[in-house]
Amino acid sequence: MLEMTVAEIQSFLSEHFPKIDQMRLQIESLAPRELRLRMGYHEAQLRPGGTLSGPTQMALADVGVYILLLAHIGPVALAVTTNLNINFLRKPAPADLIAQINLLKLGQRLAIGEVTMFSEGEDEPVAHATVTYSIPPAR
């Protein structure tokens, strides 16, 4: 059961992370334990060689798991990343980056998400990440 709608998540993020709009994120689908998130391409994301930078991919993984976590636990601003592990699999094209995110574990104190990223229009993944979040105790 989801605790927040897409509109509620977007409003929460805009309020608590006002610069998040610069990431050009679009929630394409949200379901229990699953999220499809798009990061719109911008030339500022490029690194030498014409590929999307690693920090761009890591940011998408991190915020994607955070969004999916919020959808399940509600508006908890102080949930924080405790681990992010990423494998870069191939050069991402200078295009939108699409993340398929799955919630692997949702405990009372920790949540673990898995992220597979694709360049728009490509079938093979460009990166795979696992992200762990710490959930603060309810007050």
- The residue behind tokens 């969004």 is 67
Structure tokens at 130: 């696992």
Report the C-alpha gap between 66 and 7 in whole angstroms: 15
**How do residues 45-75 score in pLDDT, each as one tens digit?**
888 888 899 999 999 999 999 999 999 999 9
**pLDDT, one tens digit for every residue, the chain (139 residues):** 899 999 999 999 999 998 888 889 999 999 999 999 999 988 888 888 888 999 999 999 999 999 999 999 999 989 999 999 999 999 999 999 999 999 999 999 999 999 999 999 999 999 999 999 999 997 6
Sheet strand arrangement including 34-39: 25-31, 34-39, 97-106, 110-119, 127-134, 80-88
Domain boundaries, the chain: 6-134
6-134 folds as Thiol Ester Dehydrase; Chain A (3.10.129)
Angle between helices 6-16 and 54-73 in degrees, nearest 10 = 120
